[in-house]
Amino acid sequence: MEQKFIRNFAIIAHIDHGKSTLADRLLELTNTVSKDKLKEQFLDQNPISRERGITIKLAPVRMEYAYGNPKSKYILNLIDTPGHIDFSYEVSRTLAACEGALLLVDATQGIQAQTVAHFRVAQKQGLCVIPVINKIDLPTARTEETAKEICEMFGFKEEEIYYISAKTGENVDRLLPAIIEKLPSPKGNLHFPLRALIFDAEYDEHRGVVAFVRIVDGQIERHGKIEFLQNGVKTEASEIGTFSPFLVPKDALQAGEIGYVITGIKDIRKVRVGDTITEISNFKSQTANIEALEGYETPKPMVFFGVYPRSTNDLVKLKEAINKLALNDASLSIANEYSIFLGSGFRIGFLGLLHAEIFKERLKQEENIEPILTMPHVLYEKREDGGMYEPYMFLTIFTPSAYVGPVLTVAQRKKGSLLDMTYYKDNAVLKYEMPYSMFIRNLSSEIKTVSSGFASIDYELSDYKEADLVNLEITINETEIDVLSELVYKDEADFLAREKTERLKELLPRKQIKQVIQARVGGKILARSEVPAFRKDVLAKMSGGDRTRKDKLLEAQKKGKNRMFTTSKIDIPQEALLPLITGK
């Protein structure tokens, strides 16, 4: 296929603006999938993705469309992308494999935070962007205002905007000619050595890692010998092909095309997203003069949870399930962890809270395991000088002007430093620098609450900054409860100490001994509460006798209680511990 007949493009938008629905209409119009087989959100094959109505993983598909006079067959390679903030890195990976993008904006909501973020990534990569306003059929559509917002914020002209309803299909047929006429074709060189960019990968238990690739130069043939430039791994392309949207084998893929390569490699970490594949002869490397393509930064886990089985008997099963899911999610970081109270488990790093929630849901649905997840925390750094440092982010908040005051209040309470504030018509864009840990302290939900659901946020990581943190240690009868101890801001330590000790007092069942709950920082007790012991009436069977005998019995009881207090093992029932470690 000549490159002039190929168009590689993505659909980018804020979450819930209709990307997957538009992809459905394009599949239908190009007869890629027949209407009777077309399910809603067809490209979202993951059951959790379909259940939640959001895209959580990019999905490529190859469509054919006849256009022109005389009619010529064009190949349109579409990559549907996630819109949620946790998966923004997938959008940047997608755009690196494309020449153009459809920028989709919901007519009822207008421009949102990820609309701006994704547009800027596309602009930075030099992509041609076609603005599209969706949901024009809805009675609440603000089509004219949204068009003015797009022109003012992104610099488009009104005549460049397309107005559609992806749900009803209205005007969607106009996008296909626009894609062909306005988006550039690929510019790779078929006669150069093979260079293919890996923009995604998944694991097939029977055939190994399947790499999703964009052929930049040259061509790749079935059974060709290939090498990954970053790590030098050599293998054979046992099968190659395209997505329609399921895997369709081909004999060769040429410059400009998007497709897949089945590698036979059993470890997905050896097939790095952003790596360059090239062809070699008889497994002998000849790559010295081949320049690797510009790749991507590996997504860095930012939110960490302890993950434990509910029963120690399920540890092996949990480990196998985690490793299985990790085969298709190279962004996870996994390490062993041990808790005195929960036993052996794992410390797993995620890209964000939604990423963790989806992982937990997959364990439940696919592996029939419901583990215990401890409260989330971010990764702090301890420097040589002993100082503690925490990750910061540049946060963008997009909100209607009427809610600027309440949003400012929330951001200030979350330790945010205001960097810039700009007004566009009836909207405002607020830019902050803020500790990343605020994400796990309900930042998103609080901003949604004070803005009646209209505000949206986006972020990018900035750097680590020194933080005034202290280790808040929770003990019961002098025994530290490891899963409840944590690093906290010094100015919040007193409040959290009282909150934790009082909550623990409410949850702990009474025992034969008293339970003294303390919250300490550096040996200093900040808060204390006590669960009294059951008191057995040792004098109940005495019908008489002098005071001396009664006092001996009471003294013996007191000494016994003291021995139990110092020697008894602290045993906290799960039903008391779980509400505290999960924050529920």
Q: Is the pLDDT of residue 304 over 60?
A: yes
Task: Work out the mean pLDDT of the chain and round it to a whole number.
Answer: 85
CATH number of the domain residue 134 falls in:
3.40.50.300
Q: Is the pLDDT of residue 39 over 80?
A: no
> What is the pLDDT confidence band of residue 255, given thresholds at 50, 70 and 90?
very high
Which pLDDT belongs to residue 249? 94
Which pLDDT belongs to residue 235? 93
Q: In 3-state terms, what secondary structure has residue 462? A: strand
CATH number of the domain residue 349 falls in:
3.30.70.870
Please state, for a pLDDT cut of 90, what percent of the chain lies above it: 47
Residue of higher predicted confidence among 557 and 501: 501
- Beta strands 195-204 and 208-217 are antiparallel
Average pLDDT over residues 412-423: 94
DSSP 539: T
Average pLDDT over residues 372-393: 88
Residue 188 lies in a domain: no
Domain final residue, candidates 466, 484, 501: 466
Q: Is the pLDDT of residue 210 over 60?
A: yes
Distance, in Å, from the CA atom of 198 to the CA atom of 482, rounded to the nearest integer, reads 42
pLDDT tens per residue, range 151-165: 988 999 999 999 999
Q: Domain check: are 122 and 175 in the same one? A: yes
Q: Domain check: are 410 and 370 in the same one? A: no
Q: Domain check: are 12 and 147 in the same one? A: yes
Q: Domain check: are 176 and 224 in the same one? A: no
Which pLDDT belongs to residue 291? 86
Q: Is the pLDDT of residue 53 over 60?
A: no
CATH number of the domain residue 553 falls in:
3.30.70.2570
Domain final residue, candidates 130, 151, 182: 182
Q: Domain check: are 400 and 535 in the same one? A: no
Domain final residue, candidates 377, 399, 418: 377
Q: Domain check: are 240 and 313 in the same one? A: no
> What is the pLDDT confidence band of residue 192, given thresholds at 50, 70 and 90?
very high
Residue 297 lies in a domain: no
Query: CA dist 560 to 542, 549, 554, 556, Å?
Result: 20, 17, 10, 6
Which pLDDT belongs to residue 51? 47
Q: Domain check: are 199 and 242 in the same one? A: yes
Residue 45 lies in a domain: yes
End-to-end, the C-alpha distance of the chain in Å comes to: 57
Q: Domain check: are 359 and 422 in the same one? A: no
Q: Is the pLDDT of residue 257 over 90?
A: yes
pLDDT tens per residue, range 325-359: 887 777 789 999 998 888 899 999 998 888 888 88
- Beta strands 100-106 and 6-13 are parallel
Angle in degrees, CA 306, 312, 316, rounded to 5: 80
Which pLDDT belongs to residue 293? 85
Residue 315 lies in a domain: yes
Q: Domain check: are 455 and 521 in the same one? A: no
Q: Domain check: are 350 and 222 in the same one? A: no
**CA dihedral defined by 547, 550, 551, 556, rounded to 10 degrees?**
160
Helix count and strand count (H, E) for the chain: 13, 30
Q: Is the pLDDT of residue 32 over 60?
A: yes
* Residue-by-residue DSSP string for 147-207: HHHHHHHH---GGG-EE-BTTTTBTGGGHHHHHHHHSPPP---TTSPPEEEEEEEEEETTT
Q: Domain range holding 365?
A: 303-377
Average pLDDT over residues 406-419: 96
Residue 293 lies in a domain: no
Q: Is the pLDDT of residue 577 over 80?
A: no
CATH number of the domain residue 257 falls in:
2.40.30.10
Q: Quick one: tokens of 231?
A: 């790590």
Q: What is the pTM of this model?
A: 0.74
Average pLDDT over residues 432-445: 92
Distance, in Å, from the CA atom of 220 to the CA atom of 343, rounded to the nearest integer, reads 50
Q: Domain check: are 356 and 315 in the same one? A: yes
Q: Is the pLDDT of residue 248 over 80?
A: yes
pLDDT tens per residue, range 84-133: 555 555 677 778 889 999 999 999 999 888 888 889 888 988 999 999 99
> What is the pLDDT confidence band of residue 567, given thresholds at 50, 70 and 90?
very low
Domain count for the chain: 5
Average pLDDT over residues 190-205: 88
Residue 294 lies in a domain: no
Q: Domain check: are 416 and 338 in the same one? A: no
